[in-house]
Structure 1
Amino acid sequence: MKRWVWLGLLGGAVACTKVPERPPVETEDVCPGTEEMSLPTRSQSSLDAEDGSESVLITFRPRVSASAMASTDAFAEDARRVGAHVSHRFPRINTIAANVTPEARAALANNPDVLRVEPNRPVHAFGMPSLSPSLWQGALPPNTRGSTGEYTDGLKAVQAPQVWDANGDGELDVGAPSGTNIKVCIIDSGWDSRHPELAAAYIGGKDFLDGDDEPLDQGKVDGVLQWGGGHGMHTAATIAAQLGAGAHVRPGEEPNGVAGVAPTVSLLVARVLNVNGDGNTANVIAAIDWCVSQGANIASLSLGSVADSDAEKLAFEKAQEAGVLAIAATGNRGTNETSYPAGYDTVIAVGAVDSNSAWAPFSQYGDFVSLVGPGVGVLSATIVGGAPYGDVQAAGTRYASEPLEYTAVGVYTGKMVYCGLGERVSSCGQGATCDGFVALVDRGGGILFQEKARNAIRAGAKAIIIGNNTTEGGGGFTLTDPAEYWVPTTAVTLASTNTLKGLAGQDVTVDVSGLDYLRQSGTSMATPHVAGVAALAWSACPALTNVQLRAVLQESAHDLGDTGKDQKFGYGLVQAKAAVDLAKLRCPSPAP
């Protein structure tokens, strides 16, 4: 009887009371070259420095008769003298970021000029999906004509088309507020300059990871340059995607793509998250400072940490004093737990609701919640080709399928071979050939999908179909490791699996192509809906202050849950038409 180390799928493991000794490993014949291709590559890099140093934020007491810059330079020199390696200076908040050894940290703590030393805590994207082009130089005139098919459920839920397309003809109404002259700064994972949805909106960016002015959602993984998951692209397009600028969409969906809540805003992009959706406090502080320096009106942050930071809090206070309206996600733990920067008083904290305006169970809640926005199954732009779409065709029939996470993209037609559970290379039997075939593999058996795929590939498979063994659907599966060599791999429902088994031996086509739009869920997706509505209301009355605009958004929201402000919905679901009307009513000068 075979024993397997992994006894479960997608995190579900079966406990064993006794694990017997493993039998000798049998040697199997594999197709030439496939053994090397399917070996995973691992990075030996570590976030911990060899000398035991840690990254910290050091805040000093202001020095009398010295400018903020001069004081910060002096502080940095003080830190260097005790062995700190300074990486960032933040004159506005008398803070520097540095790597320090335990000895250096102790010396700084004893310095009477040091107010505090705190960790440069990690921050993460809220709602991260799984997965050197030229950067666009200069903005194009925005499109004013498209299709009402671009109006997503989220867009309609926040009333955006009612503001700039009141007659519903798919065109921007002349003179209607649509975000013009409002600068929105996205602090996230960067963007994809190849995507047409943001070509007219983008006016500049900064990459705080690579230290350049090209904030592309790209980075090296095990030495290989890869595109990220598109988190920043998705949030940016929710705000700024323009009409009629479609890219590659799923068959049957609107060819013009999607429209943003405020389709004529000016977009600034600050990249602080790597391709895995991870970042740190110092870069968030640097990014909000940069947004201020670029004249941003609104900062949208779909990221955070459950720990607060005094330095970060001060940075957002300074941003508010400079006139910026900061908006951030509450987080996706579904708990009564405050995340930051959403939890600071100077930031609008955004939770998520579904298409029925019901509270999303993943949305963090508490007294800090200000507003909610659509955050379940939100359709928006992603990295070009970053949303795989699967299509299986056999005997003239198409079968709906869902690609596995990290699948290769491509089209292959070949004889289909049934490989059972795929527990061995030999599972595909005599039908397998190194010249290529389509492997049909059952889900289950306590074997990870990546093991099934490796065995099929070693047997010669050029494409793989995973057959579900339950009625729950055909997807949500992963190949686990993005660094391995994979072939187009997609999953079908139980009903389709049973039909396809009867077609073994016939030619089957597996087509996994990359789409440019993706549905995602999270408070990350809700946050840009609120930022977009803020841009619409502000463009209706630019004379409003950021504090006045926040009041407009909260007072015009659609109350949900308990009457008045509550822990799950805050003041309610943000409403563009109501917010624009209230902004015009309160405008201290005639609204445009």
Structure 2
Amino acid sequence: MKRWLWLGLGLSGLVASGCGSDPKPEPVVLPQACPGTAEASLPSTAVSALSTSPNTAPDGVIITYKPKVTASALAASADIVKAVERVGGTVKRRIPNLNMVSARLSPEAITALKANPDVLSVTPNRRVRAMALPTPPPLASWQGAFSTQGSVGEYTEGLKLVQAPQVWDANNDGIIDPGAATGEGVKVCVIDSGWDSKHPELKAAFLKGKDFVDDDDDPTDQSVSPKGEVTVGGGHGTHVSATILAQLGSGSGARVAPGEDPNGVVGVAPGASLLVARVLDTDGGGRTDDVIAAVDWCNSEGARVASLSLGAPDPSEDEQTVFEKVWNNGNGMLSVAASGNDGKRGIAYPAAYLPSVMAVGAVDLQGTIADFSQYGQELSVVGPGVNVLSATVLGAASLSQVTAASVPVTSRPLTYTAQGTYTGRLVNCGLGADRAACGEAATCEGFVAYVDRGDLFFEEKARNVIQAGARAIIIGDNVEDEGPGFTLGSANPHWVPTVSVSMASGAALKGLVGQEVTVSISGLDYQRESGTSMATPHVSGVAALVFSARPDLSAAHVRAVLEKTAQDDKTTPGVDERYGHGLVQAAKAVALARTLPQGGGPLPLP
């Protein structure tokens, strides 16, 4: 039985008004949320934000202090921790060898700490974000230790665009050439959202990991709520890692989309070793102090390349300090970072820190600059960043099927949708503006909600119809050509299978209201994504190949080699702000590196 909730007026609002007075407005009524659906009203990100103390900045500050000649790094760190606690702050992270701690402090405590003679600076612990864009998922149903043999079908378009197979499979027979540079002996550290330890593309390459989000040694791309609910991330870090070093022939049996190789994919440097530093949560967000600590950790573990498909619009002096330190440490660690996805002039940070970080822009699979790729004078090179196929968390990518009146309807799953199959009556919920939008046809026993696109975010529409009892959702587009994929905004364990359909299909579905419709969401182990996030690991992989061919080279030499051998954009010859030095080219880079004298000699001129 449907239950209703009166809002806005007490009982007095139902009594007729006195003669001559204005009539009372009708009460606003909404159906009561169905049992068990209240949690869908707030995603986990909103819940955590509400729990933050109003007297402190949610992300805190980074404190850089003066090293003490008479004390060890740990002792000096302990002293500054005591100073923070004396002014009522709470220390989150210590980075002793960089003379830094991060903490949460009230504004008054920050002022007091800045006056401390041992404190050099107190700066915001700014937010960073993953640099990927929503990408249309596949439209049809799926097919159902380092190997040296696989299938040339694993060679993705991006892989071939950067010449990687020419380095380690010159005759294109699907077998690694003996003695070829594959990245073997090179540690690549992926600073991102973590990884899927069960994915066959990455297991053999993994060496070690650290989770800077949860402060443990398990950098799995997931979070666990206080209630024990597990939220799996979007697979950003797994996608990036596999682009660099997915193993040849290792994906047999994985779930792939139609037309894709059943063996999965192979990375640019399939012989490299993987270090994983998790700094992004399941919603793709992170903090500067975790990035700083991760870069320091990667360097301490012997990484030659750090790949960062993340960034922020503004610089951080503390962050720049750590990149400069690892760049100048011996032969240095080469840091490669995404330029950003806002399509504007101005490179994101850390990519814009010259010369310690290589800024990478994105091109499509024809080598044309992507319209979302940020550009500027700091841009080093570009890599494939549009519709890049790579691995993701097992089953995290989604493939949808909709059947109405026994007829299949082409559909796309929304990002963060739940998986599963549901069959129920189709109910027209209009724009899904509130729980009453589905009308009397809604029932807590379940139904399939049809919702038109417009006015509200998709996650708001989804929450409203779920609370009205929907067990699956179909969103109809309001333009002829469906856009670049829809999203529910963030992970939420209370979402239901949710898909989008074209405007024409939506109109046809409205004529089937009341009939049974089936919505099915299946899991995939590989997906296509776009963004400078996807371009960055292509460049990181090429750097690993060069280090593998010439381990004696410095980070500065490898950067110079990649820039000198990049394929120039023919429309704007020479170095420019949109393409930098051009599209990175692995075979040319390895060939040039092998001609350099021992130790590299003078840097190759661009």
Bin for the TM-score computed over the shorter chain: 0.7 to 0.9
Q: Does the CA contact (< 8 Å) of 2:554 and 2:599 recur in 1?
A: no
Q: Tell me the secondary structure at the aligned position of residue 335 of structure 1.
A: coil
Secondary structure at the counterpart of residue 359 of structure 1: coil
Deviations 1:483-517 (A, max 9, x none): 47343222222343455556666654322112122
For 1:273 and 1:61, how far apart are their aligned partners in 2? Answer: 29
Equivalent-residue separation in structure 2 for 1:288 and 1:210 (angstroms) = 17
Are 1:375 and 2:375 matched, yes or no? no
Distance 2:417 2:508 in 1: 23
Q: Which moved more, 1:69-78 or 1:171-180?
A: 69-78
Distance 2:376 2:302 in 1: 32
The answer for the alignment partner of 2:365 in structure 1 is: 355
Letter paired with 1:25: V
- Does the CA-based 8 Å contact 1:352-1:526 persist in structure 2? yes
Match of 2:242 among 218, 229, 237: 237
Q: Which runs of 5+ in 2 are unaligned?
A: 1-23, 136-144, 601-606
Note closer, same or farther for the CA distance 1:470–1:34 as it changes in structure 2 (3 Å cut): farther
Equivalent residues of 1:333, 1:364 under 8 A apart: yes
- TM-aligned CA distance change 1:427 to 1:335, over 3 Å: closer
Equivalent in the alignment of 1:517? 526
Distance of aligned partners of 1:419 and 1:145 in 2 relative to their CA distance in 1, 3 Å threshold: same
Aligned partners of 1:126 and 1:445: how far apart in 2?
A: 26
Cα separation, partners in 2 of 1:302 and 1:23, compared to 1, 3 Å: farther
Specify the code of the residue in structure 2 equivalent to 1:155.
L
After superposition, the C-alpha distances for 1:329-371 in whole angstroms (9 at most, x for unaligned) are: 1112222223221121211111111122122222221111111
**What corresponds to 1:296 in structure 2?**
303
Matched, 1:334 2:343: yes
Show the counterpart of 1:90.
Answer: 95
Match of 1:284 in 2: 291
**CA 1:511–1:587 in structure 2 vs 1: closer, same or farther (change >3 Å)?**
farther
**Counterpart amino acid of residue 258 in structure 2:** P
2:180 aligned partner? 176
Equivalences for residues 129-148 of structure 1 within 5 A: 141-148=145-152
TM-score of the superposed pair, with normalisation by structure 2: 0.83
Alpha-carbon distance change, 115 to 412 in structure 1, aligned in 2, over 3 angstroms: closer
**Aligned-partner residue type, residue 301 of structure 1:** L
1:539-559 per-residue CA deviation (whole Å, 9 max, x = no partner) reads 111121111111111111111
Q: CA deviation at 1:268?
A: 0.2
- Residue equivalent to 2:56: 52
Note the C-alpha offset of 1:265.
0.8
In 2, distance between residues paired with 1:274 and 1:214? Answer: 13
AA partner of residue 27 (structure 2): P
Determine if the alignment matches structure 1 residue 267 to structure 2 residue 271.
no
Match of 2:400 among 390, 395, 398: 390
Q: Within 5 Å, which residues of 2 pair with 1:119-138?
A: 119-127=124-132
Corresponding residue number in structure 2 for 1:533: 542
- Check the 8 A contact 2:443/2:469 in 1, yes or no: yes
Q: Among residues 306, 313, 329, which one is paired with 1:306 in the alignment?
A: 313
| SS, match of residue 197 in structure 1 | coil
Q: How far, CA to CA, are the matches of 1:550 and 1:291 in structure 2? A: 18
Alignment correspondent of 2:8: none
Q: Given that residues 134 and 415 in structure 2 are in contact (C-alpha distance below 8 angstroms), is that contact kept between their aligned partners in structure 1?
A: no
Once the two structures are superposed, what CA deviation does each residue of 1:39-70 show, in whole Å capped at 9, x if it has no partner?
A: 54652644754543672222233434555444
Paired residues for 1:243-262 under 5 Å: 243-246=248-251, 247-262=254-269
**CA shift in 2, pair 1:196/1:115, >3 Å:** same
Between 1:407-416 and 1:499-508, the stretch displaced more is: 499-508
Residue aligned with 1:370, SS = strand
Find the counterpart in structure 2 of residue 100 from structure 1: 105
Is contact 2:304–2:333 with CA below 8 Å preserved after alignment?
A: yes
Aligned to 1:15: none
Match of 1:399 in 2: 409
Q: 1-side partners of 2:551 and 2:545: how far apart? A: 10
Q: Given that residues 128 and 231 in structure 1 are in contact (C-alpha distance below 8 angstroms), is that contact kept between their aligned partners in structure 2?
A: no
- Residue 186 in structure 1 maps to residue 190 in structure 2: yes
Q: Give the alignment partner of residue 214 of structure 1, picking from 218, 231, 251.
A: 218
Aligned residue-pair number: 559
CA deviation after TM superposition for structure 1 residue 229, in Å? 1.8
Relative to structure 1, the CA distance from residue 244 to residue 399 in structure 2 (aligned partners, 3 Å threshold; closer, same or farther) is farther
- Cα distance, 1:423 vs structure 2: 6.7
Determine the C-alpha separation between the residues in 1 that align with 2:588 and 2:428: 58
- Mapped partners of 1:426, 1:64: distance in 2: 69
Contact 1:129 1:231 in 2 (8 A): no
**How much does 1:472 deviate?**
1.0
> Which moves more between the two structures, 210-219 or 59-68?
59-68
Question: Does the 8 Å contact 1:474/1:493 carry over to 2?
Answer: no
1:210 Cα offset (Å): 1.4
Cα separation, partners in 2 of 1:425 and 1:111, compared to 1, 3 Å: closer
Q: How many Å separate the matches in 1 of 2:67 and 2:32?
A: 71
Change (3 A) 1:393 1:369: same
Report % sequence identity.
52
CA separation of 1:23 and 1:516: change in aligned 2, threshold 3 A: farther
- Quick one: distance in 2 between partners of 1:475 and 1:417? 26
In structure 2, the CA distance between the partners of 1:52 and 1:397, relative to structure 1 (3 Å rule), is: closer
**Aligned counterpart, 2:161:** 157
Q: Does 1:463 align with 2:479?
A: no
Partner Cα separation in structure 1 for residue 465 and residue 116 of structure 2 = 63
| Cα offset, 1:78, TM superposition | 4.8
The offset of 1:576, in angstroms, is 0.6
Supply the distance in 2 between the matched residues of 1:38 and 1:63 (Cα, whole angstroms): 51
Pair 44,66 (structure 1): closer, same or farther in 2 beyond 3 Å: closer
The offset of 1:33, in angstroms, is: 3.8
How does the TM-score come out when normalised to structure 1?
A: 0.85
Query: 8 Å contact 2:307–2:540 — kept in the other structure?
Result: yes
Contact 1:474 1:492 (8 Å CA) reproduced: no
In 1, the alpha carbon distance for the partners of 2:51 and 2:442 equals: 44
Partner residue, 1:11: none
